[in-house]
Structure 1
Amino acid sequence: MAEGATETAQGFPERASASPSVPFSSPSTSSVESSSTTKKARKPRIVLEGTAQEILKRNNTAASRTFNWNRFYTNHAAAGPFFKDRHWLDREWEELKELGGPADGAIDAYERPSGTKKTMLEVGCGTGATIYPLLERYPRARFVAFDFAKKAVELTKSHASYDPAHTHIFQHDLTKPLDDLYTKLDDVPPEFGPAVRQFDIVSCVFVLSALAPRCQAKAMETLLALVAPGGSLLFRDYALHDAAQLRFHSLPSASYASNPSLLSRQTEPSASPDQSAPPDPTFDDSNRPFYRRGDNTLTYFFTAAEIQSYVDEAARVLDIEIEGTCEVVEREMENRKEQWGCTRRFVHASWRRVR
């Protein structure tokens, strides 16, 4: 695979193995602290000794960036249930309720004044874990989705709920020029109705982290360009010092230690990169929190300031006005059956385009 393709894959799925049966939410700091003191003692799955800064100094061997997203989806689809439907989304973002109501025709709030239906674009559709639960809840909306992996698109279109009258699904690389994406957006199934280039809702959930650091700022610009005036961009991804990141440095087993995972060259392991501003496309990505997982998928861990800086710069380039919030939320996750737990950290955000 060419180097450019190697570093621009998207569609990182939510994993059943990494996400126990605890619903995603955005608890306050106090609720997290309370839950950690009242729960029974449990055996941790990951031994994380020391502070986050101390842990990050360990296991800094760089790895190859070679991976294959099609193989990832093929392997896990064949292995049985792996990809969880994201029924939690409309509990996290009130904006999704703007997609409308039931299909009983009682209320037409989901319709624009012109009579066209509300629209949503999902970036990195995976196996359809987002659009199909939302389509069930908001059947009068229209959904567009794409993914970097051809296999993921095949799986999404083979879903029992696939309906070209409500869904337009295709393969695309988010880092490609916007005009390339417009061409695919315009190529809609006849049943779908008018093509859409700007959407009421654009979602980017666990996707930007799968891009090489130097591609992330431009990808955010593309995302904002797809938001219609009055529409919203919904975002969630992995935050710096998430338990998944610390595990890469904690060396929990001899076999894990023998497989290098850190993708960004560590010139000074103790250095803390400046993540308050988006990098220049030509920047050296040394000391960046960019990793290869054991299944050869890629992931990056963000700060809220880093993500907000991408959005601010994209809004400036596009000459649009946005408002919203971007923050790091924590969630205590546990698996009662296996008696382990850890603290997950996510960058959670929503922005509305006001002009």
Structure 2
Amino acid sequence: MDLTNNFPDEIIKETKSLTEDEKQKLASQSSRLVPEYQANQLEKNAQKHWDLFYKRNETRFFKDRRWTTREFVELLDEDDTNAEPSTRKYLLEVGCGVGNLVFPLIEEQKTKFFFYACDFSPRAVEFVKQNALYDENVIKAFQCDVTKANQLTDVIPSESLDIVTMIFVLSAIHPDNFAGVFETLFKLLKPGGVLLFRDYGLYDMAQLRFKAGHKIDENFYMRQDGTRSYYFSDSELSEMVKSVGFEVKVCGYVHRRTINVKEKIDTPRIFIQGKFIKPQVTINS
């Protein structure tokens, strides 16, 4: 059970101060890295691992993300179900999973958005299409590897999107591909469009808990099920998005506590959150 309030999370710039014990835990992770061959296999079989994840968990693992409109007011819109296509706003959810972000938006508000929803896992996309709220007048779901630009641009025209959301998605991708993903999303957004971002922050408890043999590279780890996770610093993320042309409106850490009273578990979490704007005027190189 995640005990949260109804107020927007506070965005702070300071990284977590590590205790000596935590510093030792991080140091011990580097004593035995994931072998290069295994790391390459994880990259090669990334889609298979995520498809197996959804085969095991189906739609049960992730909770609906009903907090997103509290954190990102850009997701709120006028109450108009009869909007003409020409007045619609267009939103792409990168890494839609089984629809835990998009369907609460459709369900909770009458919206002028048209949603594109893509995921790496074909099985996850099928779960989206099987949802009772799936209506192709409102949403188009498709399988996509966002590290391959053409798989997005073949479906979505350049400079056609008002909003892109990336919620706990980029961390699952190899860091070598981060910049290319941001470049593609920058091209798809209209001038003035916004990229809404949330993911795992540097020194999150999940990062500190990895044992030796799970670290692939700096801040990049292998989970038991073969999926991977990266932990971002605010300075790194800001510089990355600015390098492809975004303006940084907000970028910082969110400190939360996940509490399960029944299991007597109190886990501090660190996420990173950002809003990145495509300038109204862009300069062509």
TM-score for the superposition, normalised by structure 2: 0.84
> What is the aligned partner in structure 2 of residue 38 from structure 1?
none
> What is the aligned partner in structure 2 of residue 168 from structure 1?
140
> What is the aligned partner in structure 2 of residue 81 from structure 1?
60
Report how far residue 323 of structure 1 moved.
4.3
Report how far residue 135 of structure 1 moved.
1.4
Identify the match of residue 211 of structure 1 among 158, 168, 173. Answer: 173
State the distance in 2 between where 1:183 and 1:28 align.
36
> What is the aligned partner in structure 2 of residue 130 from structure 1?
101
**Matched residue SS, 1:308:** helix
> What is the aligned partner in structure 1 of residue 79 from structure 2?
101
Counterpart mapping for 1:259-270 below 5 A = 260-264=213-217
State the distance in 1 between where 2:25 and 2:164 align.
36
Question: Which structure has the larger Rg over C-alpha atoms?
Answer: 1
Report how far residue 212 of structure 1 moved.
0.8
Give the direction of change, closer, same or farther, for the CA distance of 1:300–1:263 in structure 2 (3 Å limit). same
Report how far residue 119 of structure 1 moved.
1.3
The amino acid that maps onto 1:261 is H
Question: Quick check: 2:119–2:143 contact (8 Å CA) kept in 1?
Answer: yes
Question: Quick check: 2:156–2:188 contact (8 Å CA) kept in 1?
Answer: no
State the distance in 2 between where 1:50 and 1:160 align.
51
| 2:53 equivalent to 1:72 | yes
Question: Quick check: 1:27–1:331 contact (8 Å CA) kept in 2?
Answer: no
Question: Quick check: 1:323–1:353 contact (8 Å CA) kept in 2?
Answer: no
State the distance in 2 between where 1:170 and 1:151 align.
11
**Matched residue SS, 1:248:** coil
Question: Quick check: 2:55–2:123 contact (8 Å CA) kept in 1?
Answer: yes
Give the direction of change, closer, same or farther, for the CA distance of 1:158–1:246 in structure 2 (3 Å limit). same
The amino acid that maps onto 2:117 is A
RMSD: 2.3
CA distances 1:60-98 after superposition (whole Å, capped 9, x unpaired)? 322333251111111111xx722211111000111112x
Give the direction of change, closer, same or farther, for the CA distance of 1:28–1:146 in structure 2 (3 Å limit). closer
> What is the aligned partner in structure 2 of residue 343 from structure 1?
268
CA distances 1:151-189 after superposition (whole Å, capped 9, x unpaired)? 111111111110011111111111113x44221236xxx
CA distances 1:293-330 after superposition (whole Å, capped 9, x unpaired)? 12221100010111111111010xxxxx6341111121
**Matched residue SS, 1:56:** helix
> What is the aligned partner in structure 1 of residue 15 from structure 2?
none
**Matched residue SS, 2:104:** helix
State the distance in 1 between where 2:92 and 2:27 align.
39
The amino acid that maps onto 2:256 is R
Gaps of 5+ in 1: 1-19, 30-47, 187-195, 250-256, 265-287, 316-320
> What is the aligned partner in structure 2 of residue 53 from structure 1?
23
Percent of pairs identical after alignment?
36
Name the structure with the higher strand share. Answer: 2
> What is the aligned partner in structure 1 of residue 126 from structure 2?
154
> What is the aligned partner in structure 2 of residue 327 from structure 1?
252
Question: Quick check: 1:240–1:303 contact (8 Å CA) kept in 2?
Answer: yes
Question: Quick check: 1:143–1:166 contact (8 Å CA) kept in 2?
Answer: yes
State the distance in 2 between where 1:231 and 1:135 align.
20
Identify the match of residue 226 of structure 1 among 183, 188, 204. Answer: 188
**Matched residue SS, 1:58:** helix
How many residues align? The count is: 261
> What is the aligned partner in structure 2 of residue 140 from structure 1?
112
**Matched residue SS, 1:185:** coil
The amino acid that maps onto 1:57 is A
Question: Quick check: 1:328–1:348 contact (8 Å CA) kept in 2?
Answer: yes
Question: Quick check: 2:255–2:271 contact (8 Å CA) kept in 1?
Answer: yes
State the distance in 2 between where 1:21 and 1:333 align.
5
State the distance in 1 between where 2:110 and 2:207 align.
35
Report how far residue 101 of structure 1 moved.
2.2
CA distances 1:25-83 after superposition (whole Å, capped 9, x unpaired)? 52367xxxxxxxxxxxxxxxxxx984432220123322333251111111111xx7222
